[in-house]
Chain A
Amino acid sequence: KAGVTQTPRYLIKTRGQQVTLSCSPISGHRSVSWYQQTPGQGLQFLFEYFSETQRNKGNFPGRFSGRQFSNSRSEMNVSTLELGDSALYLCASSLAEVVAGRETQYFGPGTRLLVL
């Protein structure tokens, strides 16, 4: 079974631009979570989607948004990029049926975003 895939793998943008990252979960997984990894803050939870609905959200500004499609693929968008948004963005998928919080998350390789 194919793992979690993320595109693109690398991205360079300039301040003020916006960016969209894509994540395709493991087949059959309906929950997709996004995390930001930086050297200073470590791994931080952005949000989680299940059945096209945002179910949980972390403490990030409104510039960070996401969505999920009917095939469970997910995108996250960052608008008005800042230098501090440079990070590795990781997507994880899980079965996570109706009751969340018990399913193992499997991670993709990440998208490395550099903001200049």
Chain B
Amino acid sequence: GNSVTQMEGPVTLSEEAFLTINCTYTATGYPSLFWYVQYPGEGLQLLLKATKADDKGSNKGFEATYRKETTSFHLEKGSVQVSDSAVYFCALLIQGAQKLVFGQGTRLTINP
């Protein structure tokens, strides 16, 4: 079946630290991959995406590379800020269906 596994949280870092949130997936076919972010009391915001192998998505200093050989899409940021505190979701879009499959989410807290 189709599934997404994310790094267990919560993750707590100091400002300006390096961030990695691991994400691996299982899918039939060739899914598109996404990272969404959710701030308290809000819906999901698209952070970045990649639609094929070796694509790199990037936005607001965050990056993730679609690795087909390791079925991974790890999220990275070189220097985090307090404003990056949120819950991050890795997701895949099933080929042939407008259906997102989400990981369990990783809560990130950045301390000043």
Binding site for B on A (CB under 8 A): 4, 6, 31, 33, 35, 42-43, 45, 48, 50, 55-56, 58, 90, 92, 94, 96, 99-110
Chain A residues with CB under 8 A of B97: 48, 55-56, 100-101
Cross-chain contact B94 with A107 (CB below 8 angstroms)? no
15 cross-chain CB contacts under 8 A: A31-B98, A33-B100, A35-B100, A43-B100, A43-B102, A43-B105, A45-B100, A50-B98, A56-B97, A92-B100, A94-B98, A101-B97, A103-B98, A107-B43, A109-B42
Chain A residues with CB under 8 A of B32: 101-102, 104
What total of chain B residues lie within 8 Å of the partner, measured CB to CB? 25
Cross-chain contact B99 with A48 (CB below 8 angstroms)? yes
Cross-chain contact B105 with A58 (CB below 8 angstroms)? no
Chain A residues with CB under 8 A of B95: 101-102
9 nearest CB pairs, A to B? A43-B102, A107-B44, A107-B43, A100-B98, A109-B43, A101-B96, A101-B95, A48-B98, A110-B43
Whole-angstrom distance between the alpha carbons of A90 and B42 in the complex? Answer: 10
Cross-chain contact A42 with B98 (CB below 8 angstroms)? no
Binding site for A on B (CB under 8 A): 32, 34, 36, 42-46, 49, 51, 89, 91, 93-105
Whole-angstrom distance between the alpha carbons of A107 and B46 in the complex? Answer: 8
Whole-angstrom distance between the alpha carbons of A13 and B92 in the complex? Answer: 33
Chain B residues with CB under 8 A of A107: 36, 43-46
Chain B residues with CB under 8 A of A105: 46, 93, 98, 100
| Least Cβ–Cβ distance between B112 and chain A, in angstroms | 27
Chain A residues with CB under 8 A of B34: 104
Cross-chain contact B99 with A45 (CB below 8 angstroms)? yes
| Least Cβ–Cβ distance between A84 and chain B, in angstroms | 18
Cross-chain contact A102 with B51 (CB below 8 angstroms)? yes
Whole-angstrom distance between the alpha carbons of A33 and B100 in the complex? Answer: 9
Given contacts A104-B49, A107-B44, A108-B43, contact A42 B96 (CB under 8 A): no
Cross-chain contact B44 with A90 (CB below 8 angstroms)? yes
Whole-angstrom distance between the alpha carbons of A15 and B61 in the complex? Answer: 45
